[in-house]
Amino acid sequence: MASVVFYFELHQPFRLRRYSVFDTDPFYFDNEANATILRKVADKCYRPTTQKLLDLVRRHDQRFRVSFSVSGTALKQLEEWAPDVLDTLRRLVDTGACELLDETSHHSLAFLFSRAEFDEQVRLHRAEIARLFNGYQPTAFRNTELIYNNELAGHVAWLGDYKTMVCEGVDRLLTGRSPNYVYAPPAQATPPGHHPVRLLLKNYRLSDDVAFRFSDRNWKEWPLDAQRFAKWVNQINGDGYLCNLFMDYETFGEHQWASTGIFDFLDKLPEAVFDANPGQNGFLTVSEASAAHRPVGEYSSEQFISWADSERDLSAWLGNPLQDNAIAQLYELEAGVRARHAAGDPWILEDWRKLTTSDHFYYMCTKYWADGDVHKYFSPYDSPYDAYINFMNVLDNLRTRVGV
């Protein structure tokens, strides 16, 4: 049997307004632009896709199943500017066929720079999920942009609330093995007295067929239909049990426009998967897939990996002088921000946390060729240097509020 595990990341950052060295006010975020973008994406993706998923769950008597992580910054924007999307997502979760995962509240790189802040953001996100989804308590975890290593797996096990993590299936770590099984981190990664998390690895080839290649007319498989994709899923039988399709939620309607046929593909996919191997193939949530199969081996990564760019490392957010300087100075302010917050500035900690969102450093990436084109697509700036200058202008003002 082969079970499709659909996992979607739903995230929106709080983008900065154009902030010059002459600005002195503490209002850093362009709420007009953020609201406009959120509403546009809601119209193109969030509303039609979430309603489609709910319809598919009902049509197939809950045999169709999906999983989400929704960043805390996206939750705040949905609650403010598209509450109906939250309502539909809540109805989807209430069917029992949709799982929610935990993550950092502000979609941050906090694990790399401040474990205390990482833990606090995880707690904040967990509380938001409980508040907005009728007390829901996730048992699976994903870190920002699937950033992962052995140390993180041990830390998440130490937190105690999670049985499963999702991460990228990186060829150089799999060393010829299939990503279509459940894996475990190295035994020594888990602290004594704690249960190790189980790992589900993204099948990036099949995921990217949908997320990136679906509308590419130069792709030899274009146009892709649900029946052919279901046959590829069925071919996993004998080389695994799971087809882990992990992708941005905006794949549907935003990155792949409705005119490409992506919604028709999604509509027909469940039935095609069921029909490709009746009684055998189906769909599972992340936690269901983890519980259904024992780990077949260890998946070990001493270095950090992610699902971004061709390198699948941290270079989308860190590594060039702009990124490294900006994030170092940001986290140098953490102690001062906390002290100032405790002394009576009620907004400073939340302002600082919104600056920890990984997107700000993604915009500073100076890669070229294909990966650079992807970065340009998502960036509101004319260049990585503009992104850096704007961020540092904001950070300079935050520094004056801290008093350093």
CATH 3.20.110.20 assigned to 3-292: yes
pLDDT at 337 over 50: yes
User: How would you list the strands of the sheet with 140-141, edge to edge?
Assistant: 140-141, 164-168, 198-202, 182-183
pLDDT of residue 376: 60
- Known catalytic membership, residue 145: yes
CATH 3.20.110.20: which residues of the chain?
Answer: 3-292
pLDDT of residue 245: 98
Percent of the chain beyond pLDDT 70? 98
Average pLDDT over residues 343-364: 97
The residue from 145, 168, 254, 334 that is catalytic is 145
Per-residue pLDDT tens over the stretch 179-217: 999 999 999 999 999 999 999 999 999 999 999 999 999
The whole model's pTM is what?
0.96
- Give CA–CA dist 171/179, Å, rounded: 9
Distances (CA, A) of 148 to 51, 175, 188, 197: 32, 18, 16, 12
- Name 371's Cβ contacts closer than 8 Å, sequence gap at least 6: 309, 310, 316, 365
